[in-house]
Structure 1
Amino acid sequence: MPHSGFTGASVAARLTALFDAGTESPLPSTSGLRLAHGSVAGRPVLAAATDPARDKGVLGIAECADLRRAVRRARENRQPLVLLIDSAGARLDDGLPIQGALRGLMTELLDAGLDGLPMISLLGRNVFGGASMLAFTAGQRCYAPGTLLAMSGPRVLESAGGGDRTTVLAAIDGRSRSRHGGAERLLDDTLPAYAAALREWVAALPASEQAPDGLDDERRRLAQRLGHGLNEAAPPPAALTGFDAVPGPLACRGRAFVGAADVLKLATLAESAAAPLELLLDCAGHSVRLGDEALILTQYLVHLARTLRRRVGNGQEVRLRIAGEISGGIYIAAAGAASSVDIAPGGSVRTLPQTSLDSILTRPDAASTNASADFAHYAEFGVADTVSALA
């Protein structure tokens, strides 16, 4: 096997290197996603790969639909799922409907994880936005030193005052991510190293598919990460504002940008709240502060989603009401996990905060791409189930 870089290899070369020789077989795809099945260490697995050579591997509506089908197939056949993710995130030109597509995909992956489906994420060069959230639905992630992973890309983080490009990249690269340990693993950037890591993961899978979900242990580790001050620029837990734990809805108010500490507090409150859980969100989106990204903000957001979805899996309703303008990772986490989503009067959903979108898209029509659309289309797009604003 040639010792070439994994992050620089084509998606075809990556798949060929990972499967046992002669076992790879492609599966139908209606998008830029590459799907295949075969054997790894003698065990049948299913792989889904974004293709960075096709529009930076972005996730559009078609890619989300293909990946949902792949997850279902893996669950039906009880085959481990390998996610090869190298993606700039959501296809922003798809406008608001991509939020509905990502919501549905997040629900599919959360349920698969709760059902015990083994999943591993093998990360390429760039893993941003919604793609980073998909990576954290898996039980393990493998990085190369030069992998860049964050909810917000370097351009947005620089624009938000995160420092120069060198500082930003050092905070979100594979070395930085892997130092947090647990399910994070740093690999040499070679095809053989990734193939060996995958074989080791497959060989170590437990005989019982219904392993503990690990949420409680994860919450403790995430709290310790905040408490140990691994990044002094991150907001301390004691400085939180905006969440209420009074009788009635669990609320985030003030149209603020939620960071790692905010998300962890919301998950902690949601875990102990009475059923059914009413969640009222009035927040602009996820934080674009480098301090939050250095703590792996994506992991906190997916932890919140897993916490909420576990309640749903246990038969407890989680009703989300969106009372303000919401966007980005906090929308995908909460809406993907909730059993129902309602747009309250004054509520709306956007793809990203406009300031973030302006840093990514320089076209004059960037504002229209981020338009929140007519309320009548929210249910059609899968963004919400009901719209009280129409009543």
Structure 2
Amino acid sequence: MPHTTFTQASAAQRLAALFSPDSATPLDSASTLRLTSGVIDGHPVLAVATDPGAEKGVFGIAECAGLRGAIRLAREERRALVLLLDSAGARLYDGVAIQGALRGLMRELLDAGLDGLPVIALLGRNVFGGASMLALAAEHRCYAPATLLAMSGPRVLQTGGDDHAAVIAAINGTARSRFGGAEELLDDTLAAYACALRQWLGARRAASPAEALFDERLMLERRLRAHPRTPAAALHVERAAGALSCRQHAFVGAADALQLAALANSADGALDLRLDCIGHSIDLDDERALLSQYLVHLAKTLRLRVHGGEAVHLHIGGAISGGLYIASAGAASSVAIVPGGSVRTLPQAALEQILHRPADNAPAPYAACGVADTVSLHP
């Protein structure tokens, strides 16, 4: 086996390290994703790899469609799904349509997990944005010390005044693996990742979705008690109307996401979720808590309600973006944009810094690109 480190290896090298040559079949792909079907120690597997050599492994509309198709194929053929993720996140210049594509992809992955599909994420050098949420939707994750995993990238996190070394120390594989449970730190070798995958395939014991979600909520509560965070958003519950509102035009952090999930979990019957929030927090303290996991926990909580026959109707009444949109819209039964509501790829300040783009006030075709199911022009 080559002596290349896993985090510096190409997508092809990573895939080749997992399979013996006579047990793997490359599959056609209409995107930059690389797909391989095969058998590992007697277990049928479908591996999907982002290619860090192609636009830093970003998820565009084609990649989202390709991964959704791979999830369906894994379910049909009863294969474990292996996600080899090394990605800068969403392809931002795909515009708002990428949010609709990520919404559909998150829903596909949530449903597959709730139906018992085995999913593991093997993480490469960089796993940011929507890719970080895909990683946290898997039931197990493997890191190298050099892995960087965060809802926001280091460049965005540094806008809060944190120096580069502090940011890296907060989001690298060593820091993430300290949370234990489904987090596993590996030597940065192809052989170590291949061995970890074989061990997971042989030892996996699936818990019921409700039990797993309950245990996860307790773990996330303990983590916040150790490093307290003050919720930034104002939550309001109208129990008689079955409504849960999150207001204040705030950036939603780990404490907000967990509080929102707990309230949604305790609601009875159909739930109207009304969001007027900017998006996910870009505070380094939230990233230290592994913000992506809190957002995915919110998504799992909402989607489990839907699986149980209780509708979740999302109403967007502010300028929402990023991980909060993907979590809530991906899990909801329906999404409506009401007057004053809009969806962006990132908050405007981040768009200006990263893409040097001014505000675009033209109406977006939300329904046409799957961002919302309905758009209301009048109150």
Q: Are residue 84 (structure 1) and residue 84 (structure 2) matched?
A: yes
Distance 1:79 1:213 in 2: 23
Is the 1:83–1:121 contact (alpha carbons within 8 Å) kept by the matching residues of 2?
yes
**Structure 2 letter corresponding to 1:286:** H
Is the 2:232–2:250 contact (alpha carbons within 8 Å) kept by the matching residues of 1?
no
Task: Show structure 2 runs of 5+ residues with no match.
Answer: none
Is the 2:44–2:78 contact (alpha carbons within 8 Å) kept by the matching residues of 1?
no
Distance 1:288 1:85 in 2: 22
Q: Calculate the TM-score normalised by the size of structure 2.
A: 0.96
Q: Calculate the TM-score normalised by the size of structure 1.
A: 0.93
**Structure 1 letter corresponding to 2:283:** R
Distance 1:286 1:334 in 2: 11
Q: Are residue 382 (structure 1) and residue 374 (structure 2) matched?
A: no
**Structure 2 letter corresponding to 1:303:** H
Is the 2:44–2:80 contact (alpha carbons within 8 Å) kept by the matching residues of 1?
yes
Report 1:159-308 matches (<5 A): 159-161=159-161, 163-206=162-205, 214-229=212-227, 235-236=229-230, 241-247=233-239, 248=241, 249-308=243-302
Distance 2:361 2:301 in 1: 28
3-state DSSP of counterpart to 1:225: helix
**Deviation digits for residues 135-169 of structure 1 (CA, Å, limit 9, x no counterpart):** 011000000001000000000000122x1100101
Is the 1:159–1:359 contact (alpha carbons within 8 Å) kept by the matching residues of 2?
no
Is the 2:232–2:253 contact (alpha carbons within 8 Å) kept by the matching residues of 1?
no
**Structure 2 letter corresponding to 1:186:** L
Distance 2:361 2:47 in 1: 34
**Structure 2 letter corresponding to 1:387:** V
Task: Show structure 1 runs of 5+ residues with no match.
Answer: none
**Deviation digits for residues 67-91 of structure 1 (CA, Å, limit 9, x no counterpart):** 0000000011111000000000000
3-state DSSP of counterpart to 2:89: coil
Taking a change above 3 Å as real, the CA distance of residues 45 and 372 of structure 1, as seen in their structure-2 partners, is farther
**Cα deviation, residue 354, structure 1:** 1.2
Taking a change above 3 Å as real, the CA distance of residues 82 and 316 of structure 1, as seen in their structure-2 partners, is same
**Structure 1 letter corresponding to 2:236:** D
Corresponding residue for 1:18?
18
Is the 1:343–1:388 contact (alpha carbons within 8 Å) kept by the matching residues of 2?
yes
3-state DSSP of counterpart to 1:202: helix
Is the 2:129–2:323 contact (alpha carbons within 8 Å) kept by the matching residues of 1?
yes
**Structure 2 letter corresponding to 1:245:** V
Corresponding residue for 2:358?
367
Q: Are residue 64 (structure 1) and residue 64 (structure 2) matched?
A: yes
Q: Which moved more, 1:241-250 or 1:259-268?
A: 241-250
Is the 2:71–2:108 contact (alpha carbons within 8 Å) kept by the matching residues of 1?
yes
Is the 2:114–2:209 contact (alpha carbons within 8 Å) kept by the matching residues of 1?
no
The CA RMSD measured in Å over matched residues stands at 1.5
**Structure 1 letter corresponding to 2:234:** G
3-state DSSP of counterpart to 1:192: helix
Q: Are residue 45 (structure 1) and residue 33 (structure 2) matched?
A: no
**Cα deviation, residue 240, structure 1:** 5.4
**Deviation digits for residues 306-341 of structure 1 (CA, Å, limit 9, x no counterpart):** 000000001110000001110000000000000000
Corresponding residue for 1:113?
113
Number of aligned residue pairs: 377
Distance 2:137 2:43 in 1: 22
Distance 2:326 2:142 in 1: 23
Identity %: 61
Is the 2:317–2:342 contact (alpha carbons within 8 Å) kept by the matching residues of 1?
yes
**Cα deviation, residue 209, structure 1:** 8.9
**Structure 1 letter corresponding to 2:180:** G
**Structure 2 letter corresponding to 1:218:** E
Distance 1:23 1:373 in 2: 51
Distance 1:22 1:199 in 2: 17
3-state DSSP of counterpart to 1:32: coil
Is the 2:233–2:250 contact (alpha carbons within 8 Å) kept by the matching residues of 1?
no
**Cα deviation, residue 212, structure 1:** 5.9
**Cα deviation, residue 241, structure 1:** 4.5
Q: Are residue 351 (structure 1) and residue 351 (structure 2) matched?
A: no
**Deviation digits for residues 108-160 of structure 1 (CA, Å, limit 9, x no counterpart):** 00000000000000000000000000101100000000100000000000012
Is the 1:114–1:213 contact (alpha carbons within 8 Å) kept by the matching residues of 2?
no
**Structure 2 letter corresponding to 1:175:** T
Taking a change above 3 Å as real, the CA distance of residues 385 and 321 of structure 1, as seen in their structure-2 partners, is same
**Deviation digits for residues 264-297 of structure 1 (CA, Å, limit 9, x no counterpart):** 0000000011210000000000000000000000
**Structure 2 letter corresponding to 1:385:** D
